[in-house]
Amino acid sequence: MTHMVSTAPQPSPPRPAPAPTFAVISGKQVQEALGGREKELVELVEATYRLHGAGDSVNPPSYFLRFPDRPTARIIALPASLGGSVRVDGMKWVSSFPGNVRTGLPRASAVLILNDHDTGYPFACLESSVISATRTAASAALAADWLSRGRTRPSRVGFFGTGLIARYVHAFLAGTGWTFDAIGVHDVSADSAAGFRGYLRRSGATGRITVHDGAEELIGSSDLVVFATVAGRPHVTAPGWFAHNPLVLHVSLRDLGPEVLLASANFVDDVEHCLQADTSPHLVEQYTGNRDFLNGTLHDVMLGRAAAPHDRPVIFSPFGLGVLDLAVGSYVYDQVARAGELRLIDDFFHDLRRYG
């Protein structure tokens, strides 16, 4: 049998796409891109919460890598995808090694990988401890604003835990217009408390600064309380300490006993995320067998579907969503790119032709 060979013109093979680029953005570049932009970043975080609440995101559960020989340490993977005008995928890989503090290193370190929405290729790796602290502090400042609406605005703030996160939360409160008549400080480490007091003085913080010896004293003298510790299990268990109905930013998630939450109004950033990994809200769910103690999410408050009551303590427990890291990381990337300061890694992607 004779096989005929077509002489019809054949379509041209597709032009190879340009090789993807890959940038590395240092912590110094990240800090320069974010410094002094607290108000803009809180607005960015609010817009991201609204996208997430509307379903324009993918934010699966975080994955915890734990170590039998290092029980206090962990590394967490936060994968996420964000829509809207950002349109980016990626993952934060963040470690928490509390023992680092004894040697002078920060407890947490992190990187953020950004992936192209259309090709899936990673296009940047960013130092992310500053991004993580920024999105955490911006979320806390946003919650303080929304949850204090309709209540007497707090004028006395207390910081329980005085590390990097506490410093960023204070900076974001100050950078979005908060002023305080009194600032309380408490930490199990006297050196850390003294260091934070020094930071507050250098920052130009208004109000009387007091270092408290005990937690009860700090909480009782504050109508806005910020928990930013490395606690792995509840250590504040007396509801009576909160009888003056403060607003509590429970950033570190595991400080408060179930009895404190059950005597309070409770708001979270995301229900499914927050009620896992033995956070304080998760312990309440395990204890009661239900989620009736939750008043809603921060997104519910923004939409007017929930509101903070006047007659109870109000607790905001944010798990910290990967979509927030993506939003802030994309913001940093765009800032650095516009400044023409991207450090591209030549030949990072190699052998891109399918058949050589």
CATH number of the domain that residue 76 is part of: 3.30.1780.10
Residues 279 and 187 in one domain: yes
> Quick check: 72 pLDDT over 70?
yes
125 within some domain: yes
Give the pLDDT confidence score for residue 206 in this predicted structure: 85
Residues 206 and 263 in one domain: yes
205 within some domain: yes
Torsion of CA 72, 73, 79, 83, to 10 degrees: 70
More confident call, 299 vs 106 = 299
* pLDDT tens-place string over residues 38-66: 999 999 999 999 999 999 999 999 999 99
Residues 115 and 193 in one domain: no
The pTM (predicted TM-score) of the whole model is 0.91
Give the pLDDT confidence score for residue 1 in this predicted structure: 46
What whole-number percentage of the chain has pLDDT above 70? 95
Give the pLDDT confidence score for residue 270 in this predicted structure: 96
More confident call, 354 vs 260 = 260
DSSP collapsed to 3 states, 82-108:
ECCCCCEEEEEEEEECHHHHHHCCCCE
Range of the domain at 32: 23-131+323-338
Would you say 110 and 131 are in contact if contact means Cβ atoms under 8 Å apart? yes
Give the pLDDT confidence score for residue 2 in this predicted structure: 46
> Quick check: 102 pLDDT over 90?
no
> Quick check: 16 pLDDT over 70?
no
167 within some domain: yes
Residues 166-189 have a mean pLDDT of 97
Residues 239-261 have a mean pLDDT of 98
Residues 182 and 297 in one domain: yes
Residues 292 and 193 in one domain: yes
Give the pLDDT confidence score for residue 5 in this predicted structure: 46
Residues 215 and 160 in one domain: yes
CATH number of the domain that residue 168 is part of: 3.40.50.720
User: Structural domain tally of the chain?
Assistant: 2
Residues 62 and 179 in one domain: no
Give the pLDDT confidence score for residue 238 in this predicted structure: 98
Rounded CA separation 247/239 (Å):
14
- What backbone phi and psi angles, to 5 degrees, belong to 278? 55, 35
In sequence order, what are the residues at sequence separation of 6 or more whose Cβ sits closer than 8 angstroms to the Cβ of residue 324?
A: 45, 48, 49, 135, 138, 139
Residues 195 and 313 in one domain: yes
Residues 159 and 271 in one domain: yes
Residues 93-97 have a mean pLDDT of 94
Least confident of 85-89, 124-128, 263-267, 349-353: 349-353
Least confident of 20-34, 82-96, 97-111: 97-111
Average pLDDT, the chain: 94
pLDDT band for position 10 (cuts 50, 70, 90): low
pLDDT band for position 78 (cuts 50, 70, 90): very high
pLDDT band for position 354 (cuts 50, 70, 90): confident
Residue 345's alpha-carbon distances to 23, 29, 125, 286, 329, in angstroms, are 6, 16, 11, 48, 18
Give the pLDDT confidence score for residue 12 in this predicted structure: 60
Residues 239 and 269 in one domain: yes
pLDDT band for position 351 (cuts 50, 70, 90): confident
Residues 60 and 197 in one domain: no
Residues 263 and 310 in one domain: yes
256 within some domain: yes
Give the pLDDT confidence score for residue 111 in this predicted structure: 98
Would you say 333 and 23 are in contact if contact means Cβ atoms under 8 Å apart? yes
18 within some domain: no
Residues 192-221 have a mean pLDDT of 96
